[in-house]
Structure 1
Amino acid sequence: MTYDAEATKQRIFAAAAVEFAEHGLAGARIERIAAGARANKQAIYLYFGSKEKLFGAVVAAKLQEICHVVDLDPRSLPDMVGVLFDWYQEHPELVRLLLWEALESGDGPLQGEQTRADAYRDNVRNMAAAGLTDERQARDWLFTILGLVAWNFSVPQLRRLVLDEPDPAKALARRRAVVVDLARTLTANAPVDD
């Protein structure tokens, strides 16, 4: 049987995503990642360099996944916010990874920060080019929209307490409708060029 380096990297990556989402960077263990990936620890260091670089690669990849799903065009923003909401609901690991990253890094530098910042700048430029008055407004919209959606999955205990809804599925369905409606209101008041 031949060794498949790419398959090993993919297994390591998948196991790392689960481990980091569950335990964060500090709590994650290379031994558990290796066991989950059916690989040895040396392969992890060979392919990714360090636990920190692996964490950064996992977060960046999860963010890239969502970028391929959602195009935040102001002309179809409510629909895209619904898609974003659904994606977060189906992929709760991204919110967990971002929360761990925030807790462990604070406002300090991040692995792959420049690449991620450039991707957000591209999103902002695309939103502004689609008709928002300027890039500053587009930045504010993007950050607000991400917060409106992600908050629903960041604090499920607060969602349960505030909404006082015993059925989590009904609570999320209501929240999705509210967030999409807020996006509709936001775009209704925006100066979008045709």
Structure 2
Amino acid sequence: MAYDAEATRRRIFEAATAEFAEHGLAGARIERIAVAARANKQAIYLYYGGKDKLFGAVVRAKLEEICHSVALTPDALPEAAGRLFDWYQEHPELVRLLLWEALESGEGPIEGEEPRTEAYRGHVRDLVAAGVGEGADEPVHVAQNWLFTVLGLVAWNFAAPQLRRMVLDEPDEKAAVARRREAVVEMARVLAQTIR
């Protein structure tokens, strides 16, 4: 049977996603990734260049998945916020990866920061073009704040589930999540009406 490099890369990527989501960058082990991926450690270094770069590639790819599945525009914000909420619920690993990244990098630069920053700049340009910040002295700042607020409005629900449980005082987790989704969509509707 011929060696399938693409299949090996995919297995490494999937194993690394699970490993980093569970243990973070510092706690992750290349050995465990290699075993879970049915690959050797040399393949990981060959394809990804090491643990830091692999972690950066995993986070970037997860963010690109979400960016391609949900477009945040003022006109469709409530629906987009609902889809974003659903995406985070179905992919809890992204919030965990972002939290690990924040804990481990602090205020310092992160692996692959510049391409990710440029992607966010593209989203901000799209928002400005769609009218966010129209008439403001600094429409880019309005769009940046708008984007960051919407992302936080959704992601916080999954970053601190214990707070969701305590604040909502809801013993049924499914009911709590459904209630929060409804609230997020309504808040996004209000935000969309006041943004321009």
Alignment map for 1:23-172 (pairs within 5 Å): 23-133=23-133, 134-172=139-177
TM-superposed deviation, 1:190: 2.5
Find the residue that maps to 2:178 and give its secondary structure.
helix
Q: Deviations over 1:75-111 (max 9, x none)?
A: 1111100000000000000000000000000111111
Using the aligned pairs only, state the percent identity: 69
1:12 equivalent in alignment to 2:17: no
Structure 1 length normalisation: TM-score?
0.97
**Matching residue's letter, 1:166:** P
Report the number of matched residues. 191
Unpaired runs of at least 5, structure 1: none
Runs of at least 5 residues in structure 2 that lack an aligned partner in the other structure:
134-138
Displacement of 1:188 in angstroms is 1.1
Distance 1:57 1:81 in 2: 25
Q: Distance in 1 between matches of 2:38 and 2:195?
A: 52
Cα distance in 2, alignment partners of residues 47 and 71 from structure 1: 31
| 2:189 corresponding residue in structure 1 | 184
Q: Distance in 2 between matches of 1:14 and 1:177?
A: 32
Q: Distance between the aligned counterparts of 2:109 and 2:142, measured in 1?
A: 25
1:116: Cα distance to partner? 0.0
Map Cα deviations across residues 119-138 of structure 1 (whole Å, 9 max, x no partner).
00000110110011211111
Equivalence for 1:21: 21
User: Alpha carbon RMSD of aligned pairs, Å?
Assistant: 0.6
d(CA) in 1 for partners of 2:166, 2:36: 35
Q: How big is the shift at 1:187?
A: 1.1
